[in-house]
């Protein structure tokens, strides 16, 4: 059976560390996209704030009134910010779709892929992963329907219940259920991607089928593998944000930038950690299957005897 001992978990982290280039590549693309798509907004805001004493209300502390005033300024400095952030998100998603093939190839093989083979692997798997994403959207439809139905039920409970907590507790349960469902779906599709890369499987429905079977038989270990890393990501993010909001001086723009980017890099790294752990898990799982498969032992060859002796 697949090795679910801690070394898979730590092997994943080690793999991410060894292949840091992927992390820095993704981070660079992430940062450049957001910054470039919001550059105009920054210029407009700069024009309003940089030579103004009123900017101090934003710098020293964070006066929401000053930010609202800025937002409603006649020069509309925040115009285009929302679309900029959305466009950068979509482009980054597309890039991730492209890069995942090469990243998984490297993680699964354990080899250090050079740029050429890396991008070749990216291109080789891109269309397959695009199709997988479409399948994912289809799979998410019933989840969306479940969320919608839960919303109706929540409203009904909230309307009928004298105490607000009945609906609150219902919402807590729904959130946990939906989160677990989404995690399971993500693990399923992650493993499908690993199978597609490992087995060079072109048929994504087949990869999904095999991944589903894998998940069914190894649900606990795969879930724990994924969940551990997610928990670490959320805890670090929460601690980081808490420190940023409550302990960093409002004027510390440099320290805030460093902290925010550390949190982004860490979040990205944990996602790569999950991918690496899954790849290693699958590789070890395949080896274990190969090792435990029965070996055919043919009988020994005996010397040839005459077929018959004919008596006259």
Partner 1 sequence: MRFHIALFLAGVITALPPCYGQVKTSSAVASAKASVESTQQTLSTRVVAYQIDARLDPTKRTISATETLRYRNLTGQSQQTFPFHMYLNAFQPESTFMTESQRDNPDLEWKKEHFGAIRITHLEVGGTDLTSQIQFIHPDDNNAADRTVMQINLAKPIPPGAEVEFKISFEDQMPQVVARTGYLRDFFMVGQWFPKVGVWWKNAWNCHQFHQNTEFFADFGTFDVKLTLPQNEIVGAGGDLVSSINNSDGTKTLAYHSEDVHDFSWSASPSFTDVEDSWTGSAGTVKIHLLMSPGNMSTAPRYMQALKGTLGLYDQWIGPYPYDRITVVDPPHGGVQAGGMEYPTLITADTSWFVPKGSLLPEAVVEHEFGHQYWYGMVATNEFEEAWLDEGINTYLEVKMMDALYGKGKSVFNFPFLQLDDDAEQRATYLLQPDTDPITRFAWKFYDDSAYGAVTYGKTATVLLTLEKLIGEETLRQALHTYFMRYRFTHPTGEDFLKTVEEVSGKDLHWYFEPAIYGTQIFEYKILDAHSEPLKWYEPEEQGSKPGDEIYRTYVTVQRKVDFVFPADLKVTFDDGQSVLEHWDGRDRWMRYVYDRKAQLVSAELDPGHQLLLDRNFYNNSYVVKADGRATSKLSNIWSFAGQLLAQLFAWLT
Is 230 a residue that touches partner 1 (CB under 8 A)?
no
Provide, rounded to whole angstroms, the least separation between the CB of residue 274 and partner 1.
Answer: 11
CB 124 within 8 A of CB 193: no
d(CA 13, CA 8) in angstroms, rounded, equals: 9
Is 108 a residue that touches partner 1 (CB under 8 A)?
no
- Tell me whether residue 13 or residue 166 sits nearer to partner 1 (CB atom): 166
Of 115, 137, 293, 310, the one binding partner 1 (CB under 8 A) is 137
Is 89 a residue that touches partner 1 (CB under 8 A)?
yes
- Tell me whether residue 40 or residue 120 sits nearer to partner 1 (CB atom): 40
Task: Give the Cα-Cα-Cα angle 120, 126, 132 (nearest 5 degrees).
Answer: 150
CB 196 within 8 A of CB 207: yes
- Tell me whether residue 151 or residue 289 sits nearer to partner 1 (CB atom): 151
d(CA 92, CA 95) in angstroms, rounded, equals: 5
- Tell me whether residue 81 or residue 280 sits nearer to partner 1 (CB atom): 81
d(CA 271, CA 109) in angstroms, rounded, equals: 18
Is 268 a residue that touches partner 1 (CB under 8 A)?
yes
Is 131 a residue that touches partner 1 (CB under 8 A)?
no
| Contact positions with partner 1 (CB under 8 A) in 64-83 | 64-70, 72-74, 81
Is 279 a residue that touches partner 1 (CB under 8 A)?
no
- Tell me whether residue 2 or residue 129 sits nearer to partner 1 (CB atom): 129
- Tell me whether residue 2 or residue 187 sits nearer to partner 1 (CB atom): 187
- Tell me whether residue 15 or residue 30 sits nearer to partner 1 (CB atom): 30
Provide, rounded to whole angstroms, the least separation between the CB of residue 166 and partner 1.
Answer: 10
Residue 184 C-alpha from the chain's centroid: 13
CB-side neighbour CA atoms (13 Å) of 138: 8
| Contact positions with partner 1 (CB under 8 A) in 7-66 | 30-31, 33-35, 37-38, 41-42, 45-46, 48-56, 58-59, 61-66
Is 100 a residue that touches partner 1 (CB under 8 A)?
yes
Tell me the CA end-to-end span of the chain in Å, nearest whole number. Answer: 65
Provide, rounded to whole angstroms, the least separation between the CB of residue 62 and partner 1.
Answer: 5
Provide, rounded to whole angstroms, the least separation between the CB of residue 68 and partner 1.
Answer: 5
Number of C-beta neighbours around residue 221 at 10 A = 17
| Contact positions with partner 1 (CB under 8 A) in 143-182 | 158-160, 162-165, 168
d(CA 93, CA 99) in angstroms, rounded, equals: 10
- Tell me whether residue 3 or residue 265 sits nearer to partner 1 (CB atom): 265
Mark 255-284 as b/e (b = at least 16 C-beta within 10 Å).
eeeebeeebbbbbbbbbbbbbbbbbbbbbb
| Contact positions with partner 1 (CB under 8 A) in 189-218 | none
Total residues interacting with partner 1, rule: CB under 8 A: 75
CB 66 within 8 A of CB 254: no
Q: Would you mind telling me the total number of residues written for the chain in this entry?
A: 312
| Contact positions with partner 1 (CB under 8 A) in 244-263 | 244-246, 250-251, 253, 256-257, 260-261, 263
Of 1, 79, 90, 231, the one binding partner 1 (CB under 8 A) is 90
Mark 3-30 as b/e (b = at least 16 C-beta within 10 Å).
bbeeebbebbbebbeebeebbeebbebb
């Amino acid at each position: 059976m697949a090795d679910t001992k801690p070394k898979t978990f730590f092997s994943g982290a080690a793999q991410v560390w060894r292949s840091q280039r992927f992390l820095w590549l993704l981070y660079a693309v992430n940062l450049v996209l957001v910054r470039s798509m919001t550059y105009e907004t920054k210029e407009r805001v700069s024009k309003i704030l940089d030579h103004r004493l009123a900017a101090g209300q934003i710098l020293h502390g964070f006066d929401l009134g000053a930010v609202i005033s800025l937002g409603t300024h006649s020069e509309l400095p925040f115009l285009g910010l929302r679309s900029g952030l959305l466009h950068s998100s979509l482009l980054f998603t597309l890039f991730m779709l492209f890069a995942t093939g090469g990243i998984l190839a490297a993680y699964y093989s354990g080899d250090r892929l050079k740029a050429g083979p890396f991008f070749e692997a990216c291109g080789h798997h891109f269309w397959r992963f695009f199709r997988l994403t479409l399948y994912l959207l289809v799979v998410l439809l019933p989840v969306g329907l479940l969320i919608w139905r839960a919303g109706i039920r929540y409203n009904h409970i909230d309307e009928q219940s004298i105490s607000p907590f009945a609906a609150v507790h219902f919402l807590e349960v729904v959130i946990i259920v939906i989160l677990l469902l989404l995690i399971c779906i993500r693990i399923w599709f992650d493993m499908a991607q690993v199978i597609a890369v490992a087995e060079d499987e072109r048929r994504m429905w087949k990869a999904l089928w095999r991944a589903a079977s894998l998940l069914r038989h190894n649900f606990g270990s795969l879930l724990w593998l994924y969940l551990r890393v997610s928990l670490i990501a959320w805890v670090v993010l929460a601690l980081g944000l808490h420190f940023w909001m409550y302990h960093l001086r409002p004027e510390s723009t440099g320290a805030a930038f460093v902290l925010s980017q550390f949190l982004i890099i860490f979040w990205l790294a944990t996602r790569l950690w999950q991918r690496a752990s899954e790849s290693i898990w699958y590789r070890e799982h395949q080896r274990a299957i190969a090792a435990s498969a029965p070996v055919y032992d043919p009988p020994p060859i005996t010397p040839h005897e005459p077929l018959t002796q004919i008596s006259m």
